Chains A and B, each alone.
Chain A
Amino acid sequence: MELYKLTAHELIERIDKKETNSEEIIGSLKKRIKDVEFKVKAYVRLSNSYFSNLTHNSQNLIPNTQHLRPILKGIPVSIKDNICTQGYNTECCSKILEGFRPPYDATVIQKLKQAGAIIFAAKTNMDEFAFGSSTENSYFWPTHNPWDLDAVVGGSSGGSAAAVASDEAIMALGSDTGGSIRQPASLCGVVGLKPTYGRVSRYGLIAFASSLDQIGPITKDVRDSAILMNVISGYDSFDSTSVNIEVPDYTKSLGMDINGVKIGIPKEYFIAGLDKEVKTIVEEAINKLKNLGANYKSVSLPHTEYAGPVYYIIATAEASSNLARFDGVQYGFRREGAKSNLIDMYKKTRGEGFGQEAKRRIILGTFVLSHGYYDAYYLRALKVRTLIKQDFDKVFTEFDCVVTPTSPTAAFKIGEKIKDPLKMYLSDIYTISANLAGIPAISIPCGFTKKGLPVGLQILAKPFNEELLFKVAYVYEQNTPWHKMKPKL
């Protein structure tokens, strides 16, 4: 069995038994990347020195980071291009950040290093600044779905999801603002988790929407996700939105039964727009959960139809603010105008440095925050956000979790939706509510369409109840064949 095919937990076991070591694992991964990366194109900035073994470098430890056992000792982890890795280019797959080498490590990177992980210096591809659902908005190139090379990988963490699916990564980190971990995980047939807002530090994550962003694991199976969550979660004084709640050992939730677990199935998610095949597959998965001991019942999340508008107002408003810093002054790309004045430099730098989707979102965000429109759009969206959160609060008083499809369709073809922004935005309808409500959500594989494309099942729980997500996801996974299936590359 080739090492690159294994999960992190399988590799950890072999490392502990001294049956293998990190050099062999890295060698195996390098071979795999050489063999298939030209088809998938999950990584950006691959070069000969793309593995950075920084386990010996403890200069980056900061006083308030807990010391962790080296539970990931020797395991390579792939990182999305919007997470700062000290000394290694971090560009959000955008021209405007070209050449940027962060002078510091994101907290999650520090935690990975302390756990003994090996950080890939080459980063995984993404939609520029996380704006997108297909990784087609990358400044570099689109990543190709390992299950169908003409299809998208989803986004914005498409590179991470594809690398895990194609065994070009053992495990990976992504970020999720409106589904950017879960949707690509669903389209690529892997496991993706968005933690509760505040569970994982955002320090070092280049911000898109500060009230929605979270970093999370993208992995081959549920156990790997729990292991990675153990490492990256926790309070960080460098992130004032991180929460000081103890991190449980998430692996303890694996193997618990789900007898009597109450699942709510929101009726507003099973309507027109949901692909019929996906619907059937998801319904079968729900029935499987019932056979495994859970109970399900139809529930209502009445403000579901407003989640899209609310998200695209709040997220773009916050993005317009967060991206104001990219102006050619401190880092990245700079274009001076012929007139050689500062405002001109801002406009030319941003006009040339940002891609179309970035410009679209910044301008929309600026618009909805502007005087005269602020109340009608932004303030109104904040109030409807309250209603969306309350919908979930009500359901969680009676139910342990909510189960939905992750994506309304399986992977669509590259080029199919990119010319129609609105069509692309509708790919996110099932995932955005979790970010608006701040609740944790996981996507796990639950089957394949007739064309062989993966379908994902999404489970949502109340804040800081990732343990329930792992409990349910693990039982389902271990009683189905999906996590053992690999694409033919």
Chain B
Amino acid sequence: MIKNYLFRGAGATNKEHRLALTARDVRQAGRGGTMAITQDTVKYVAHLARIDLSPKELEKLSQQLQEILGFIDKLKKVDIKDIAPTSHILPINNVLRDDLPAESLSSDKALENAPERQGNFFGVPKVIE
């Protein structure tokens, strides 16, 4: 049963918008129709990506993303039954180093490029809930 969605990892609170996503959209995406990218969808995704878009950008981007999704939708035709995903192309895993202390970047070097520095910290505007 598909219920309301909160975006994964977004730290979404009740105050954040919920995506106007219905079960029907998700089923359609799975079934073969290209789902419609509404401006609301793009606005929400841009919010998650922390990117401001002007109204003109929002309109243009929604159009373009709709086209690109059409191109991407071709993938639905592929039979992927029993195929393992490849997220990493090389057969190496869990690359670790010995737990020995070594040189690292000094605080000064790390803060060299800071737009605003406060002592040994990056200065930023306050976080507001």
Do B49 and A385 touch across chains, with their CB atoms under 8 A apart? no
Do A379 and B85 touch across chains, with their CB atoms under 8 A apart? yes
Does A478 make an interface contact (CB < 8 A)? no
Q: Kindly provide the distance from the CB of B80 to the nearest chain A CB, expressed in whole angstroms.
A: 4
Chain A contacts for B51, CB-based, 8 A:
347, 350-351, 354, 359, 362-363
Query: Which one of A216-224, A246-254, A305-313 contacts B?
Result: A305-313
Does B1 make an interface contact (CB < 8 A)? no
Do B115 and A384 touch across chains, with their CB atoms under 8 A apart? no
Name the CB-closest residue of A to B6.
Answer: A371
Contact of A382 among B71, B87, B116 (CB under 8 A): B87
Chain B contacts for A422, CB-based, 8 A:
64, 67-68, 71
Do B50 and A360 touch across chains, with their CB atoms under 8 A apart? no
Do B125 and A344 touch across chains, with their CB atoms under 8 A apart? yes
Sort chain A's interface into a size bin: 35 or more
Chain A contacts for B61, CB-based, 8 A:
359-360, 363
Per-residue interface assignment for chain A, residues 232 to 244, with 1 indicating a CB less than 8 Å from any chain B CB and 0 otherwise: 0000010011010
Interface SS of B by simple majority: loop
Chain A contacts for B30, CB-based, 8 A:
375-376
Instruction: Give the distance in Å from the alpha carbon of A324 to the alpha carbon of B84 in the complex.
Output: 28
Contact of B125 among A303, A345, A356, A379 (CB under 8 A): A345
Do B50 and A438 touch across chains, with their CB atoms under 8 A apart? no
Sort chain B's interface into a size bin: 35 or more
Query: Which one of A16-24, A68-76, A99-107, A154-162 contacts B?
Result: A99-107
Name the CB-closest residue of A to B60.
Answer: A356
Does A328 make an interface contact (CB < 8 A)? yes
Does A336 make an interface contact (CB < 8 A)? yes
Q: Kindly provide the distance from the CB of B78 to the nearest chain A CB, expressed in whole angstroms.
A: 5
Does B15 make an interface contact (CB < 8 A)? no
CB contact under 8 A between A372 and B87, given known A350-B49, A363-B61 = no
CB contact under 8 A between A211 and B113, given known A305-B74, A309-B72, A372-B5 = no
Q: Kindly provide the distance from the CB of A246 to the nearest chain B CB, expressed in whole angstroms.
A: 16
Do B90 and A243 touch across chains, with their CB atoms under 8 A apart? yes
Q: Kindly provide the distance from the CB of A286 to the nearest chain B CB, expressed in whole angstroms.
A: 28
Contact of A384 among B48, B52, B80 (CB under 8 A): B80
Name the CB-closest residue of B to A353.
Answer: B51
Do B29 and A351 touch across chains, with their CB atoms under 8 A apart? no
Contact of A320 among B29, B49, B88 (CB under 8 A): B49
Do B88 and A211 touch across chains, with their CB atoms under 8 A apart? yes
Does A425 make an interface contact (CB < 8 A)? yes
Do A384 and B65 touch across chains, with their CB atoms under 8 A apart? no
Would you list the 3 A-B pairs with minimal beta carbon distance, nearest first? A351-B52, A382-B85, A438-B89
Q: Can you list 16 pairs linking A and B with CB atoms under 8 Å apart?
A: A197-B89, A198-B92, A243-B92, A310-B75, A329-B114, A359-B46, A360-B61, A362-B51, A367-B41, A370-B7, A372-B5, A373-B26, A376-B29, A380-B78, A387-B78, A438-B90
Please report B residues at the A interface, Cβ cutoff 8 Å.
5-8, 19, 21, 26, 29-30, 41-42, 45-53, 57, 61, 64-65, 67-68, 71-76, 78, 80, 83-90, 92, 95, 97, 105, 109-110, 112-116, 122, 124-128
